[in-house]
A and B are shown apart, each in its own frame.
Chain A
Amino acid sequence: MATNLPVSAQSQGGVGTAPVPHTEHEDHLHDHEHHDQHWLWKYVFSQDHKMIARQFLITGMIWAIIGGLLSSLFRLQLGWPEATLDWLQPLLGKWIEGGKLNPEFYLALVTMHGTIMVFFVLTAGLSGTFSNFLIPLQVGARDMASGFMNMLSYWFFFLSSVIMFCSLFLETGPAASGWTIYPPLSALPQAIPGSGMGMTMWLVSMVFFIVSQLLGGVNYVTTVINLRTRGMSMSKLPLTIWAFFLTAILGILSFPVLFSAALLLVFDRSFGTSFFLSDIYIAGQALHNQGGSPVLFQHLFWFLGHPEVYIVIMPAMGMVSEILATNARKPIFGYRAMIGSLIGISLLSFVVWAHHMFVTGMNPFLGSVFMFLTLIIAVPSGVKVFNWLATLWRGNIRFTAAMLFAIGFVSLFISGGLTGIILGNATLDIQMHNTYFVVAHFHLVMGSSAFFGLFAGVYHWFPKMFGRMMDEKLGYIHFWLTFLGVYLVFMPMHYVGIAGFPRRYYSWTGFDAFSQFADLNKFISIAAILAFFAQFVFIFNFFYSIFRGRRATENPWNSTTLEWTTPIEPGHGNWPGEIPAVYRWPYDYSKPGADVDFIPQNVPYSQTPSSNLPYERELSE
């Protein structure tokens, strides 16, 4: 559409005044906001990518509160195994029996915490929010390729959320076989009550979730490929877009495999097939199922499950790259290496899944292969870290709240990523598999890091989302409480894991080997619960700033990318006039010879003769 407009954008501003090209033309074709829309179509069944992004964000925040609350509940059990929890009876009802948390409900808590955080918060809440919000704005498009599909994507997610939420209140409890739902436990209600209706609802909910992801993903990919504005070649895309683009491809290729695993599990549960079941004697009865393999399920699950952790972390990487460059007032170091490493991570992410399965009885030869492929992924990950460090070097760093979270992201990603080198080693995984070392590792590298990416993104793009600024002071408080909280929770957790503490244990007191470190577990619990409550600083800041925040200016961070060329509160269609054309890469910060320390992407080289590099001079002629 807009990419073919014949009129070139004429800039009127000089370089010294942060030039933003204005056109006198009004593109009436796209002036949707002039129509008086019914609130139902504007706020609820909206097809505007910005509104859909806000819907994803707020739904994700609600889920994050629920997921965090669940973790606080089971941390109470782990920190104070002897305590009576009668006071939780009003909330948990019959799941508190004689002052004790029901052990099966404990398993349901960890299961739902994992499911909610991985899928509903860090996949839908993070990628759903920012892919939707930033892709059209940063590539220079009026909206997503299909606004209608985009709306469906959110509403399938909403439906999925409602079903998952309802399952929390079932008589038999929600799914309780771990977020990885390994059969036979997840297939047999005789094995655990949560595998009855709870698991059925989990599976139905995930099917809708997968549909939502695919509708979103196809849209993101199509938009990035087809709807870039004039001049926006792939090598001029901001790294955010590269990250969202590759994330969407990963999702499209891997979520269908989870769908197949879920479908086969539904067959085993309801129609008597034996894909994953064999030789089972349970509840006084030998089942007829024969020849199935539980390990097959794990292969199918992790074929999604591993790319999934990159689906969670890559959007955060992209946003952090953007925020670091903007606030260090420096080009991102090694733009092409950053794209290359993203592509490398994306490719490798499909061939490392079985490192979750070294000790499942899988052929040890496969273990060797997957160890090799897994440890290789440290190389592109390392490249990213070094490039981020080099971006900070000799910068002129402004510590906005977003920048603090971006730096925090790098720190957490390093800390969590390095322990992956231990877990990816099949030999060491014999000892570490399913211990708290694993829990600590992935909570740092994908859980907390992705959350930091999410926070950085919200603080940074809030002015564009809501036309107001978030409070910086509250942002600082939120950052330091969260940053310290995360390290105080997960550093001791590595220690507990090295000592061999198994995960998903209701209590460790039955074992001589695990009866130590009760104090440390109490410490972790206190830190975790405090870190959870610190998030309410953010929630307050967020909602207060929507209504009462300082009014934003058009480009509050002096940034170079296209979203900051839109009006303060862009309507449906994003640019009131013509879509700006793009002439340069997105990282012209502090360019020698330029009057100001940033040159937006839509400023042609002909306007910046003093700062053009030799090869750019040719382009301007």
Chain B
Amino acid sequence: MNPPIASVHGHAMERMFWTTMTVIGIAFVITQALLFIYSYKYQHREGRRAYFFSHNNKIEVIWTIIPAIVMAALIFAGWKAWTRITGPAPKDAIVLEVMGKQFNWLVRYPGRDMKLGVVNYRLIDASNEFGFDLSDKSAMDDFTASEIHVPKGHPVLIKIRSRDVLHAVYMPHFRVQMYAVPGMPTRFWFTPTTTTDEMRAKLGNPKFNYELACNQICGKGHFAMKLNIVVDEPDDYVAWFAAQSPISQNADLMASFKQMSQQTGLGKGGSQGARASAVEETGETPAPLSAQASM
């Protein structure tokens, strides 16, 4: 059945899921049973007459109102949870960014300054897969990673973008799903509750990994767009974070940026210039989730 749960809101969703399942289960059993009982019981017999019973407004009102009340309760519960889950992330949330491309996921962290640097899709090439604009100072200490690390018990805000077609970040164990949309950054925040090691012990499966799958058709390799997620104890996470080397130490990337910025005329004017050209190029301004593109 449902994959094991490893996030705070996942537990709430699980309860709501089973409550709803119970409600629709009851409706299912009653209606299907009546359908088959009536069909069986009122089979045609010679000489019998069907009961001429064309309408009864009182019954109609009853079976309109009762489902309406039940639905109202489900809507209310769903709305409360939805508002909480999609509401703004806590201020102290750990931020990371996932970028979808055909056919894998790229991950970056903001580095020591805790600010994700500006990226610009026109600066992308084989060595600079994110399109970092290194004239932005806050980009210099960003680092990329081949898997996602997050600490247990701490809110995590995943910023999501795509650089080609639609993808979707789908992390079934954390009950997280959000599209990656080219030209429109999206986001999702959650709090992991169980470390990878704890989950391995719980499931008795030493090879278990939390996985991120692409869940929006994106082409040939759609079914193989996998990224592993590691939930660490907070201390382990801090140690892992400290051990990563910033992109400014990546000589290939620096050389590639220099070349691309000459070609495109981008990457000038320092942090402000980088921001301004990214805004001009992409129309992107950092915005809270509540004000996100409301197309």
Contact = CB atoms under 8 A, between A and B. Distances in A.
Q: Decide whether A and B are members of one complex.
A: yes
Interface of A: 103-104, 107, 177-178, 182, 184-185, 188, 191-192, 277-282, 286, 290-296, 299, 328-337, 359-368, 371-372, 375-376, 378-379, 382-383, 385-387, 389-390, 392-399, 407, 410-411, 414-415, 418-419, 421-422, 425-428, 430-431, 433-435, 495, 498-500, 502, 504-508, 510-514, 587, 589-592, 597
Contacts of A367: 82, 86
Given A185-B217, A587-B54, 12 more contacts: A107-B222, A184-B165, A191-B102, A277-B182, A286-B122, A294-B166, A331-B52, A363-B294, A364-B82, A395-B51, A505-B223, A508-B223
Contact of A394 (B50, B78, B87, B186): B50
Interface of B: 1-3, 13, 16-17, 20-21, 23-24, 27-28, 31-32, 34-35, 38-39, 42-45, 48-56, 59-60, 63-64, 67-68, 71, 74-75, 78-79, 81-83, 85-87, 101-102, 121-122, 124, 131, 160, 163-166, 168, 170, 172-173, 175-179, 181-184, 186, 207-209, 211, 213-224, 226, 281-283, 289-290, 292-295
A513 B229 CA distance: 12
24 contacts: A278-B183, A279-B121, A281-B163, A282-B102, A291-B183, A293-B181, A293-B184, A294-B183, A362-B295, A371-B75, A372-B75, A379-B68, A383-B63, A393-B38, A395-B38, A397-B39, A421-B74, A426-B78, A434-B177, A495-B1, A510-B223, A511-B211, A512-B209, A513-B172
A192 B121 contact: no
Contacts of B53: 330-331, 333, 390, 393-394
Contact of A427 (B24, B38, B52, B85): B85
A132 to B, nearest CB: 30
Nearest to B216: A434
A386 B35 CA distance: 10
A506 to B, nearest CB: 4
B223 A507 contact: yes
Contact of B3 (A407, A504, A513): A513
Contacts of B71: 375-376, 378-379, 421
A184 B13 contact: no
A279 B131 CA distance: 11
Nearest to B123: A286
Contacts, number: 334
Contact of B48 (A360, A362, A396, A428): A396
B83 A368 contact: yes
A295 B213 contact: no
A505 B218 CA distance: 10
A220 to B, nearest CB: 27
B55 A335 contact: yes
A392 B27 CA distance: 18
B16 to A, nearest CB: 6
A410 B87 CA distance: 40
A124 to B, nearest CB: 25
B28 A296 contact: no
B33 to A, nearest CB: 10
Given A278-B282, A362-B295, A414 B177 contact: no
Contacts of A104: 219-220
* Residue from A279, A407, A410, A590 whose CB has the most chain B CB atoms within 10 Å: A279
Contacts of A192: 219-220
A401 B226 CA distance: 49
Nearest to A286: B122
A334 B31 CA distance: 17
A392 B184 contact: no
Contacts of B83: 364, 368
B45 to A, nearest CB: 7
B2 A499 contact: yes
Contacts of B293: 293, 295, 361-363
Given A295-B181, A495-B1, A107 B217 contact: yes
B183 A371 contact: no
A186 B124 CA distance: 23
A302 to B, nearest CB: 12
Contact of B24 (A286, A422, A435): A422
